[in-house]
Amino acid sequence: MTNSLRLQQLVKLIDITRLDDNDTPTAFNDWVTALPKLTYAAYCVYPDFISALLQHEGRSEQAQIATVVNFPSGDIATDIVCEQIQQAIDLGATEIDCVLPYKTLMRGEHGAVTSFLYDVRQAATSCCLKIIIESGELITAQQVAKATELAIECGADFIKTSTGKVPFGVSEEAARIILTVIAAADREVGFKASGGVRSVEQAFQLIQLYEEITGKIATKETMRIGASSLAEELNQQLEKITD
């Protein structure tokens, strides 16, 4: 695949992300306005900014609207998380990125995690549901694998690595474990790499890893890359090719 095609492939996989805890309506509007005009897979924003995003004339109308729930701690009560999901859908979200209760999983309480995930899947109805396992906080490879297995079992559409709010985001080791479990699943499950993906080269490496392990070409239906600072570099490289 030529570099041009690789860059075009990457654009279509990006969930362009704005999860700034100190955000303001003005700053958010300026961010959307300044974004390179690329056709991303999705925008990922806090629920409070969904309406502003939908009303912004500069957004890509082809991109999905993703938001986060049970975020970032992963320890909000299940009924509240389900309410968050319904409110987000009512606001216009088409994709839900939900944090798995990873501390509960680390205590070995797999039944509680499973119950949570089933309830979340039901609340998300027909929305694309991405489960964030917070792989950088999980201590062992077995925990990463178990979190992935439970999320798949309970109906997740994507397994997502990280919230981006902890010291360690996506790692090659965690990505390999998650992708190996996904490749063995009896249905199609997507993979979202997030947390610390800051360069085009790193993104390319993750795409290559996905394709090597799953044997599939990465598309927006099967792989996403969560990124907040990648768009500018990607746009610059695309402009060099078209000049």
Choosing from 15, 130, 146, 160, the catalytic residue is 160
| Catalytic-residue membership of 160 | yes
- Give the range of the structural domain holding residue 226, as residue numbers without chain letter: 3-242
Supply the pLDDT for residue 243.
Answer: 64
- Look at 243 and 198; give whichever has higher pLDDT: 198
Condensed to tens digits (0 to 9), the pLDDT of residues 147-159 reads: 999 999 999 999 9
| Catalytic-residue membership of 97 | yes
Number of Cβ within a 10 Å radius of residue 15: 26
The confidence band for 1, taking pLDDT boundaries of 50, 70 and 90, is: confident
**Number of compact structural domains in the chain:** 1
Burial degree of 70 (CB within 10 A; 0-12, 13-18, 19+): buried
Is residue 78 within 8 A of residue 116, CB to CB? The reply is: yes
Amino acid 125 reads T
Choosing from 15, 97, 146, 220, the catalytic residue is 97
Least confident of 81-85, 142-146, 227-231: 227-231
Q: In this structure, what CATH number is given to the domain that contains residue 94?
A: 3.20.20.70
Supply the pLDDT for residue 167.
Answer: 95
Choosing from 130, 146, 157, 192, the catalytic residue is 192
Spatial separation of the C-alpha atoms in residues 151 and 116, rounded to whole Å: 10
User: With 80 as the cut, is the pLDDT of residue 120 above it?
Assistant: yes
Residue of 144, 19, 135, 126 whose CA lies nearest to 69: 19
| Catalytic-residue membership of 240 | no
Residue of 119, 121, 151, 112 whose CA lies nearest to 135: 151
